[in-house]
Amino acid sequence: MDSAVLILVLTFLLLLALNVPVAVAIGLSTLATAVLAMGSFEIAAATLAQRMATGVSSFSLLAIPFFILSGLLMGQGGIAGRLMDLARALVGRFPGGLAYVNVLSCMLFGAVSGSAAAAVSSIGGFLVPEMQRQRYQREFSVALTVTGATTGLLIPPSNIMIVYALVSGGAVSIAALFAAGILPGMIFGLALMVAAGVLCHRRGYGERVAVARGAVGRAFRRAFLSLLLIVVVLGGILKGIFTATEAAAIAVAYAFVLAVVVYREIGLREVPRLLLQAGVTTAVVFLLIATSMAMSWILTIEEIPQTLSAALLGVTENRVALLLLINLLLLAAGTFMDMTPAVLIFTPILWPVVQKLGIDPVHFGIMLIANLCIGLCTPPVGTCLFVGCGVGRTSISRVTPAALPFFLALLVALLLITYLPGLSLWIPRVLGAL
């Protein structure tokens, strides 16, 4: 087992250091370990291919391409502007109002699109220049947008929750995860607003945004059809009217009608391009899922999760200390690994520890996702950080120091989510989703 772990880890890290795509690095390191375990390249390769095919052969995974496509339609269909107008009407009147507008817009847009990168691009593309005109520092604006966009991965619908539900082996329902993410997502957003408010006060950023009488009502009416998607998707899933996959298909149909017919922000000639973009993104995600499921298989047959679980429990059996160790491990993993492979790899590794501690798997899923959300904003491989720097026309070296106060705010929120499981489990219990 020791040699298998060594081969797996060293091969994976070496391939990452050579800038090999993560999915390929996972697949090749898994193949090398399987050859060592089985003693035959042919048998190992055939078994690996079978495990990859089995890994993506799930009806629940059909929700992912649908949610990806609906997110693209939402991102380019005029929805972002309407949600920003609503956020401006709600919180723009306070000192440093555009900072609050930024975070609230990211939360609203993430709730309808389910994509952090899309939120950075759509919200940041408009608000970062606007905040600069209002004398906010560029790096401050980019850092706030990048960290604020992660709230959309906790506030449902969220593709990563579907992935976690899959790898949990049926122990967790998608409906329960969707319900559990609502309050933690709001806590993430509130923590960022508090940090932004303190910084705006100390540095003198921003003035109140003028809000005309009746602006809230008008903005709400303009954004109503966009917000209705959240009600349709979540309400339908939580009430058992349709599955997450069916809800994703409904979201595509709804977003298409909204963007093409009602708002007319997308022409029919642009639809094939969006379909191609959704297909490419889906292919990348599914390759990651396939290779990660194969790696999970080799981890299982080599009993690596049980060994690492025993090692962690050997350090301490104190619940508080172990939860802190798990958080530190996941935060470290998030700095060099994208969210999807991290969920697929670390869930089976940490599952025995979770069971030993008696942690609710729904609570653990939210804790896991919250950890990895922070990783999307941190160098060297933070996806949202790269997108934000591109949108804001600045560099990672300049944005990272500006983001430190927001990282601290997210860490405080993460500790609340970790040690107060009721924050994740209260809404699912009230709705009967657990």
CA distances from 18 to 25, 27, 69, 290 (A): 10, 15, 32, 22
Band of the pLDDT at 209, cuts 50, 70, 90? low
Distance of alpha carbon 26 from alpha carbon 352, whole angstroms? 22
Compute the Cα dihedral for 399, 132, 134, 215 and give only its sign: negative
Cα angle for residues 265, 270, 275 (degrees, 5° grid): 115
Of the candidates 81, 77, 115, which has an alpha carbon nearest to the alpha carbon of residue 282?
115
pLDDT for 363: 95
Contact 366, 411 (CB under 8 A): no
Reduced 3-state DSSP string for 270-309: HHHHHHHHHHHHHHHHHHHHHHHHHHHHHHHHCCHHHHHH
What DSSP string runs through 106-151?
HHHHHHHH--HHHHHHHHHHHHHHHHHHTT--HHHHHHHHHHHHTH
Q: What is the mean pLDDT of the chain?
A: 84
Band of the pLDDT at 242, cuts 50, 70, 90? confident
For residues 418 and 386, the model is more confident at 418
Instruction: Identify residue 251 by its one-letter amino acid code.
Output: A
pLDDT for 207: 65
CA distances from 110 to 199, 223, 312 (A): 24, 14, 35
Q: Could you report the per-residue pLDDT of 321-337, keeping only the tens digit for each?
A: 889 999 998 998 888 77
Instruction: Identify residue 363 by its one-letter amino acid code.
Output: H
**8-state DSSP, 96:** T
pLDDT for 276: 92
Band of the pLDDT at 202, cuts 50, 70, 90? confident
For residues 184 and 303, the model is more confident at 184
What DSSP string runs through 43-64?
HHHHHHHHHHHHHT--GGGGHH
Residue carrying the six token digits 């303009």? 222
Phi, psi torsion values for 316, nearest 5 degrees: -165, 150
Token pair listed for 426: 């209260």
Q: Could you report the per-residue pLDDT of 39-75, keeping only the tens digit for each?
A: 888 888 898 888 888 878 877 788 888 888 887 887 7
Band of the pLDDT at 211, cuts 50, 70, 90? low
Phi, psi torsion values for 251, nearest 5 degrees: -60, -40
Quote the distance between the C-alpha of residue 260 and its chain's center. Answer: 27
The shares of helix, strand and coil residues in the chain, as percent rounded to the nearest 5, are 80, 0, 20
Of the candidates 160, 151, 158, 157, which has an alpha carbon nearest to the alpha carbon of residue 185?
151
Residue carrying the six token digits 């979770």? 354
**8-state DSSP, 317:** -
